[in-house]
A and B are shown apart, each in its own frame.
Chain A
Amino acid sequence: MKNWSELKELRDSYRQNVAIRLEDGTESDFQYEKEILVCAGTGCISSKSGDVIQNLKDELEKHGLADKVRIVSTGCFGLCAQGPIAIVYPEGVFYHLVKPKDAKKIVEQHLIDGKPVEKLLYHDHKTKEVINKLLDTPFYHKQKRLALRNCGRIDPERIEEYIAFDGYQALAKVVNEYTPDDVLNDLKESGLKGRGGAGFPTFMKWSFAKESPSDQKYIICNADEGDPGAFMDRSVLEGDPHAVIEAMAIAGYTIGANQGYVYVRAEYPIAVKRLRIGIEQAKANGLLGKNILGSGFDFDLDLKLGAGAFVCGEETALLESIEGHRGEPRPRPPFPAVKGLFGKPTVVNNVETYANIPQIILKGPEWFTEMGTEKSKGTKVFALGGNIVNTGLVEVPMGTTLREIVEDIGGGIPDGKQFKAAQTGGPSGGCIPVEHYDVPIDYDNLTEIGSMMGSGGLIVMDEANCMVDIAKFFLEFTVEESCGKCVPCRIGTKRLLEILEKITMGKATMEDLDKMEELCLHIQENSLCGLGQTAPNPVLSTYHYFKEEYIAHVMERRCPAGVCKNLITYEIDEVACTGCTACARRCPVDAISGNVKEAHHIDQSLCIKCGQCLEACRFHAVNVG
């Protein structure tokens, strides 16, 4: 492609490729009679969507439909709990929990006989009614998909489909019509803030880098997503890699950089593969490389793979890692925008931040600012996990409340349990208790209530979760991942973990709680990088909102949620027990005795508190105390 008008022509011709998927697609444009879109994101692939795709192709072949029906592998649809997901176009019928053996039915019943396969249709879990279209599910109602717009809509391995949906038009517009300051202006007006967690205004980062004089500058995409329970960036890269590539080229044009790197976890093989394909296709089409679209602007992009260190998600540690060193953070200032990779001015942004940029350029900053709150514009992607019905990936306008996300989109807590708290921001964040269920979620509000936006992991906890145990879990993670460079983080987090262990073992005193709080403040204040500075957050916020739980562990030697093994006992209620022996048979240590049809008994000296008896009992006769 040599110029913008060629790109526009291509877009118009590729539109036919995807016309069948559009609400207003003209039938005469359809290339195939039907299309079946199947999710090929990591979640669905683990539930064998690869086999589903293969079987569908085989069935089509068998029935001579291969040239009439196309199978499209897409990125994540979001509703991971119901995967693998498949959608048949043009009617848009959506199937969930599709197994490889269902391919035959879909082809024979749906495609040939024209009758949708009943058992694969989705039923609303509250009203029990059949919902035919994915977008009609309550899961999608309150969502607004910007960063995820192409996920589940296009084949990420075909640049044609990205171009068909206005792909690379923003880059073309920028290199043809915009000065670097115009780009900065659009970003400033849009109010876009970094989606990686800290929420620093994107235009400021870019303008610092632009103003730093240097012969060489770099653009970096931080795709080292490491928080436990977070998979937003992975999904964007798997579902729409070109959006990130395009935005990085725009960033290069703005600050005057000709080289970019995507630093991506090696543990994300599908994302790595699709990025590689994407970069190659962009180069082959003249959208990366020399003289992009005839503008005279050169930009090249390469991948750098992470090697399994959480701290490399911190931007200065990431730079060290690309340079080939241990991933230990550098003191800031100087900030990377002034002195970054190999000492040159560098812009480091997160995947989701980049994914927003092409659309802001195309549709204008006003369009973007229509969504969100006064201080936080646009949308945010969350990875919903934990004790919630619809685990998966959601994107909502800033300002949506936690209640809306958990109850309306997430479908609430399973098994009739009560919402207790949600954890945002992973090991750097904190928990949001039920009293803040209705706070509109944005950067400022979350900070104010002691949590943080973080990269977007959102773990829902119910009454059966112990908050001390959760804090301990995150601390274990930080201790493991601390790089060891600075003392407050290396030693401080270890000592903090030891106090938490004492509490969960029932060996702590009230004095320990005071020490714990003090230590938290020291670690926050004195650590070198974000990892250490935020490590105490899970402890402080759980202690703030669930102090009584901490005190119960210390004063009463009791874990109210029944989680901390040293503080609980399992006992069998002699009245409720029917003597069915299910528990005795499951007990791995033979601690349960009793005759058939008589009440059973647990020998506490043998019990290892694994909870198997509780799970085995169908008569609610096992009590946790």
Chain B
Amino acid sequence: MSVKEKVFDFIETESQHQEFEECLNNLQGVQGGQMPALQEAQRIYGYLPVEVLERISKKLDVPLEKLYSTATFYSQFTFVPKGKYTISVCMGTACYVKGAGDILDSYATSLKIKPGETTPDRKFTLESVRCIGACGLAPVITVNEEVYGRLTKKKGDKVLVTYLNQE
């Protein structure tokens, strides 16, 4: 996992808070409890906010750096939240030469984030990915599981608009 500099404002709902507190209470005194605690935090919050890590540290009596060391080891954990929609722009050679770079730039400008980042409202995460093996459809993007191929900058913007209009 990678550690990004940009820190998000930590927001949590009452139900998230309660659910996680309950988890922590159940894990108090359990040997090796920090792994399930991290996994639950990742599930409930979608990432590991430092505020939550501090809570785990206090409740389970594990030093913060220990938690950090564990969390950075496993690919399941992230320190930045993922958006509701992850837009992955294929930057394989075929897609690149067909203008994938322009599409990526256009998304970055529209969403005001760089590749690898998430919008502050946590709706979108933008990623550039290696060849996804759909060169015949180049250039290709995926939004979560959905694949969009044979795009142009204009068509790509249209795809974004449909998601911007969704919840």
Contacts and interface: CB of A to CB of B under 8 A. Distances in A.
A327 B136 contact: no
Contact of B32 (A309, A324, A589, A608): A324
A322 B32 contact: yes
Interface in B35-59: 35-36, 38-39
B94 A588 contact: yes
A23 B32 CA distance: 49
Nearest to A311: B73
A326 B68 CA distance: 10
Contact of A326 (B69, B75, B93, B98): B69
A322 B74 CA distance: 13
B39 A307 contact: yes
Contacts of A305: 35-36, 39
B97 interface: yes
A200 interface: no
Shortest 6 CB-CB distances between A and B: which pairs? A307-B74, A308-B75, A307-B76, A326-B73, A324-B34, A324-B32
Contacts of B97: 588-589, 608
A323 interface: yes
Q: Mostly helix, strand, loop or mixed at chain A's interface? A: loop
A322 B39 CA distance: 12
- Which of B39, B76, B95 has the largest number of chain A CB atoms within 10 A? B76
Interface of A: 266, 304-305, 307-309, 321-328, 342, 483, 586, 588-589, 608, 610-612, 615
Interface residues of B, number: 24
28 contacts: A266-B76, A304-B32, A304-B35, A304-B36, A307-B39, A307-B74, A307-B75, A307-B76, A307-B77, A308-B74, A309-B74, A309-B75, A321-B35, A324-B34, A324-B70, A325-B70, A326-B70, A327-B73, A327-B74, A328-B73, A588-B94, A588-B98, A588-B136, A588-B138, A589-B98, A610-B135, A612-B94, A615-B136
Nearest to B1: A308
Contact of A323 (B32, B38, B76, B135): B32
B106 to A, nearest CB: 19
Interface of B: 31-36, 38-39, 62, 69-70, 73-77, 93-95, 97-98, 135-136, 138
Contacts of B34: 324
Contacts of A323: 31-32
A483 B73 contact: yes
A598 B114 CA distance: 47
Contacts of B38: 307
Contacts of A325: 69-70
A412 to B, nearest CB: 25
Contacts of A266: 39, 76
Given A305-B39, A326-B69, A608-B94, A342 B31 contact: yes
Contacts of A324: 32-35, 62, 70
B102 to A, nearest CB: 15
A305 B70 CA distance: 14
Contacts of A326: 69-70, 73
Nearest to B67: A324
Contacts of A327: 73-74
Nearest to B138: A588
A473 to B, nearest CB: 14
A307 B41 CA distance: 13
Given A266-B39, A305-B39, A322-B35, A589 B74 contact: no
Contacts of A322: 32, 35
Nearest to A305: B39
Contacts of A309: 73-75
